[in-house]
Chains A and B, each alone.
Chain A
Amino acid sequence: MWIVVSPQSDHAARWACQGLRARGLDPLEWVIADTLPLTSRWVYRIGRCGTTLELTLPDGRTVASERVKGVLNRLTIPPDHALLVAPADRDYVQREMAAFYLGWLNAFPCPVLNPASPQGLGGATRHRSVWRFLAARAGLECAPLLANDHEPWPPVEIGAQGKAEALLFVVDGETVPAAGHPMPPERIQEAAIRLGWLGGTPLLALHFAVGAEGRWYFRDAETQPDLTFGGDPLLDALAHALTRSRGGAPG
């Protein structure tokens, strides 16, 4: 079984479900995050025998971690559990559930795109400055950035005007340009893949500015991009990544 976890309104998740099923990821269950607060049964165990998780969704479907072969995680904020509890307990319950989902989305022994992080349930969400720092370490060229404490973000980007935009997806060691966008030179692709590893985020969308002289400047990274921009090649890469290990061949 493969699962896609997302809010109901996430059209990219719906699109990915259809595309991944068409590529043989079957059964694939779409776990709609909005319904998770109504989950009738959570059983999450950690101990000598490892970590296991079982949940029974409100419609009766069950998801057991040991049967899941891959997860596309599109959860960015914890679902709202506040309505089920007394007003005085709401903040506490939301914090508890945020912590719960962070653990849960790291409890699967299979590929997860992206694993939850304390910096974001859908993968580490970082300030642009931190992404740029990591990008430079990965070997990408970045325009200088200047920030101060009295002006709102985004900070001033020196010399970034007048360049074409390009969007590149990184999926677990593969690169896929957005539909209609150019494929960058090989050294940029390799550096982009390194950035994915450095960031602990196997799925990333990287925004570049491309100068007239052909130089690619990294601008920012997204951990929860609109996947539809990647078209069929991105679905192929997602299917490949989600079936890569633990005997997860489609069919």
Chain B
Amino acid sequence: MHNTATIGEDRRAGGESQRPGGESRGKGESRRLDIEAIRKDFPILETTVYGYPLVYLDNAATTQKPLAVLNAMDEYYRTINSNVHRGVHYLSQRATDAVEAARVTLADFINARHAYEVIFTRGTTESINLVAACFGKKFLQEGDSILVSGMEHHSNIVPWQMICEEKKATLKVIPIDENGELILDGLDEVLRGGVKLVAFNYVSNALGTINPAREIIAAAHRHGIPVLLDAAQAIQHMAVDVQDLDVDFLAFSSHKLYGPTGIGILYGKEEWLNQLPPYQGGGEMIKTVTFARTTYNDLPFKFEAGTPDMAGMIGLGAAVRYVQELGLDNIQHAEHELMGYALDVLREIKGFRLIGNVDAGHRAGVISFLVGNIHPFDMGEILDQQGIAVRTGHHCAQPIMDRYCIPGTVRASLAVYNTPAEMDRLAAGIRKAVTLLG
């Protein structure tokens, strides 16, 4: 469905000296990743917690960072740190080249038509807020509506609620079924009723459901409605191609993609970004300023007010190159296998209740569950005592928890460096918690 493999191949043709995962691969073939070699790229995975080797299964909250990222950021500060885009001097030009190269890397990664359609933000949340504020300001009127799904993160609910309240518009919701899938019957009818934009997540952070993005985008476009896709939980697990999806806006964070915190991406189609008013005012986003009038800069700078997070941009670029070297198809394959294995061992636990889709093929990254009547918070604490990091609670998606009438779940979330042995540790840890708490 995508062509990031092609990008990977081009890069190989260019001759890479460092290859993460340590293994060579044949041209164009899918490759079995050497997970043990990959683990060596992540120094933090050697951590010991209360005497146990760390099992890090909170990857949907944030992933760990490979040496390639740490080194790129360290090198930036050591060798070329300087403010970008304005300086005439050598360092400033080097820094500008480096951050703009990162933008090109990101554009390649999601197959954007133009690098200037890639806006650096602080993360998914800011990307969504930017579109909500700017799109809302220009296009939303009293009586209009914004359509989101019933499985959104609060970040893809609250910004829309805020702009809807301001514009006296309404927020509509695509319902979800017991299996954690969106109910799309009747979507066309809803879309006919004054919807100005559709916003939903590609993969649910609370359930792991992979939503039929292409189908929903096509349906919205039949009514001339643009779509924002929250790819925060998809971008690290599967190839995302904005042209193939024909999506209008795409948001994701660096820190869930093995990159540094505090930086993220908003992709927008040129024609949409050009129609939106600027988000924040300040340096970089202007062309000329007088007290009478300011003219705004072109894309992407129009949306990048102030000195950007240069080290973050470079770190994210390095993270994306790392992921491309592994190959997202290879990552997806490895994680899919691991997900299947995890579900198999977890299902053997008495009282284990998976929340969401039972089909491993319809989910990515996240295993949300309860065991018997054990409170997720208790389970999380007993797992922590065994060196196993999971998340507990409502995962900033309270409406989903209400949908299932549960206070929250335990969430184990996977990354490329997780192993079947760690899934065994998780299962054993849960069993121990059951003997204590059950």
Q: Do A and B come from one complex?
A: no
Interface residues of B (CB under 8 A from A): none
